[in-house]
Structure 1
Amino acid sequence: MPVHAKNNPANNPARPASGSSLTLGNTLPPGSSPSHPLDLASFLDSPARQVVMGHVLFIHAHPDDEAVQTGALVAALAARTQVSILTCTRGEMGEAIPGVLPENATAQDFIAQRLRETARGREILGAQAGYFLGTPPALAPGAHARHYSDSGMRWIREGLAGPAPQAPANALALLPLAQEVDDAVALATAIGATVLIGYDAEGSYGHPDHLRAHEIALGVARRTGLPLFEIASGGIAPGSGVASGSSVASADTSGDTYGSAPGITPGGAAVAPPAEGAFTWVDVSGYVDTAARALAEYRTQLSLVEKQGRLMIRHVGGQYQEIYAQAGLRARSLP
């Protein structure tokens, strides 16, 4: 990828030094909502600029999440500063839209195609680099390279998700969290990340790998002291076909794998969502077209269709989702 002016260290202030008057609690301006988001210029003129305008590391679960969950936000930040993306798995448990791959395609062909899709998607969004957890430099010092697999997903009961019954032994949600944090810390240190952006406690729609990615982000923040901003979740309740926050509508809820599952963990224990401040909603609508161009690359996982007078994502399972034009962010305070 070409070197841009944004990659000049002079344009990328380091995060505030210890003792600075800037704290996570006062970085995000209040008073915004999904219907009345803060314009991007005001957000970047706020104290948040001192934290966000460094080297941003997004932590995502699967290939395509960077575009589906945060496409316009990634593009907005990448136009101004360094952005890297850590993907925890290669999406092995997913399925492909019929006709995209040859009929004789193998599981390895599917994974290879997903890797090509995410590489192209990241490039269009403007991310400086992408990494996979367990592959250097996202690997703890002295450890052998390791592969974290997609855990799949099943609904244990309404509101409680867990790994698929056929999840492999190396599934992200089943391996030790401490090991995964070690690998992610190694990456954050190696690339000089100054801020983390990851899922909130709902994990966007309750997928076990998203919940584990949330836990990994928390672990990295605690270990390194890096600021962590959480992304507001959106999804549908299992079997309801009703969008949480009106962001998704299901075409066929009988086979839904997307849902909103607040306050759950991969191990199945219910936990209360963190008692944190409200999300600050930021208008990133100026980057929806960029997000759409990136999304068009994920041909095994989704297609872009006109629905209700606007361009929407149609997932491989038949669910419809908006291309997010607002990003909900919350500074996560850590003990």
Structure 2
Amino acid sequence: MFVHAHPDDETITTGGTLAGLAEAGREPLLVTLTRGERGEVTPGPFAALEGTDGLAPHRQQELAAALAFLGVQRHAFLGVPPARADELSPTIYEDSGMAWGPDGRAIAAGDASRDALTSVPAVEALNDLLAAAYQAGASAIVSYDDDGGYGHPDHVLTHRLSRAVAQALGLPFWAITASDANTASDATGDEDRVEAHDVSDWMERKVAALRAHGTQLTVDGDDIVHVGGQREPIARVERFRRVPHVPLEG
């Protein structure tokens, strides 16, 4: 079970692995926690969607197209079955928003709505994610590292929820690990606990899925150009670090 905060995160960091698992018949489940309602939008034909009620449904359509390119058939938004606790009505967890801190990393926005992922009681979101993992028969959980990759509050909470579910169910937890995009070396020093997946065989699918997320990024040669203009190489190697469970006392 792959757990991501917003549409497009799944393709940028794990798209090749998702495509490889899907092709191998492993049927990965992707759970997306929000619809990215407060995301910035790239300049161009979709720019007018920024800050409007039309952005969320558009990003849902982008995600559906991306998953079709990757071959992923199992997907749920948190708060909607199968990612909703039994006997609770469906709900929507909204994007919490973010701001850029002085160090260039994301920090929490000061105006998150009461329905934002980081505003609602964490136990509700936790129970929904537990339900998703249990009903899917998950054998492992994949999500961000403890700082969410770049500090976005939704990413940080996604890590905490995912790791708690893995611990509760006794499942392996794999943290997405950033290092050089296209080499087998690891920058964390934890080579014994890191899996490096060469996803070259699925790059066409990954690039097509990236292009589907047109409100959030553009593809320029071998690079992703993010909405803020930041460039990032499209990773041909995707890395995951096995995070041990915290020993329980008593």
* Fold shared per TM-score above 0.5: yes
Shift in Å at residue 94 of structure 1? 0.5
Structure 1 equivalent of residue 29 of structure 2:
84
Contact 1:83/1:129 (CA < 8 Å) preserved in 2?
yes
Match of residue 316, structure 1, among 227, 230, 240: 227
Q: Percent identity?
A: 37
- How much has 1:163 moved relative to structure 2? 1.8
Which residue matches 2:18? 74
Supply the distance in 2 between the matched residues of 1:98 and 1:105 (Cα, whole angstroms).
10
Which whole-Å deviations, capped at 9, do the CAs of 1:181-232 have from their partners, x for residues lacking one? 1001111112222221111113122211111111111111122222221110
- Change in CA separation of 1:167 and 1:225 when aligned onto 2, cut-off 3 Å: same
1:140 aligns with 2:51: no
Q: Which amino acid aligns with 2:218?
A: S
Give the match for residue 326 of structure 1: 237
1:128 aligns with 2:43: no
User: 1:62-89, CA deviations, whole angstroms, 9 ceiling, x for partnerless residues?
Assistant: 0011111111111112111111100000
| Secondary structure of 1:115 counterpart | helix
Distance 2:243 2:227 in 1: 32
| Alignment check: 8 A CA contact 1:96 1:301 kept | yes
Amino acid at match of 1:167: A
Higher mean C-alpha deviation, range 218-227 or range 104-113: 104-113
Which one of 36, 41, 61 corresponds to residue 5 of structure 2? 61
Distance in 2, Cα, partners of 1:156 & 1:98: 23
Q: Work out whether 1:190 is the aligned partner of 2:131.
A: no
Per the alignment, in what secondary structure is the counterpart of residue 220 of structure 2? strand
Deviates more, 1:99-108 or 1:162-171: 99-108
Cα displacement (A) at 1:292: 0.1
- Provide the rounded CA distance (Å) in 2 between the counterparts of 1:158 and 1:218: 27
CA distance 1:159–1:99, change in 2 (3 Å): closer
| Residues 84 and 128, structure 2, Cα contact 8 Å, conserved in 1 | yes
Quote how far apart the aligned CAs of 1:112 are: 1.1
Q: CA deviation at 1:284?
A: 1.6
RMSD (Å), alpha carbons:
2.3
AA partner of residue 85 (structure 2): A
Counterpart position of 2:218:
303
Aligned to 1:119: 64
Q: Name the counterpart of 1:99.
A: 44
* 1:171 alignment partner AA: A
- Give the deviation of 1:156 after TM superposition: 4.8
- Worse-matched range after superposition: 67-76 or 154-163: 154-163
> Which residue of structure 2 lines up, in the alignment, with residue 285 of structure 1?
200
Q: Does 1:206 align with 2:206?
A: no
Distance change (3 Å), C-alpha of 1:65 and 1:206: same
Secondary structure of 1:203's counterpart equals coil
Deviation at 1:159, TM superposition (A): 7.4
Whether 2:177 is the aligned partner of 1:232: answer yes
- Partners of 2:102 and 2:114 lie apart in 1 by 23
Taking a change above 3 Å as real, the CA distance of residues 283 and 312 of structure 1, as seen in their structure-2 partners, is same
Q: How far apart are 1:161 and its partner, in Å?
A: 4.3
Give, in angstroms, the shift of residue 303 of structure 1.
0.9
Amino acid at match of 2:147: E
Q: Which runs of 5+ in 2 are unaligned?
A: 182-187
- The verdict on how the C-alpha distance between 1:201 and 1:103 changes in structure 2, with shifts beyond 3 A counting, is closer
SS in 1 for 2:150: helix
Indicate conservation of the 8 Å contact 1:276/1:332, yes or no. Answer: no
Whether the 8 Å contact between 2:38 and 2:50 is mirrored in structure 1 is: no
Task: Report the CA distance between 1:246 and its aligned residue.
Answer: 5.5
Structure 1 residues 278 and 106: alpha-carbon distance in aligned structure 2, compared to 1, 3 A threshold = closer
Greater mean alpha carbon deviation, residues 141-150 or residues 127-136:
141-150
2:61 counterpart SS class: helix
Cα distance in 2, alignment partners of residues 102 and 165 from structure 1: 23
Q: CA separation of 1:287/1:186 partners in 2, compared to 1, >3 Å: closer, same or farther?
A: same
Specify the SS of the correspondent of 1:296: helix
Q: Which amino acid aligns with 1:75?
A: A
Contact kept? 2:39, 2:50, Cα under 8 Å: no
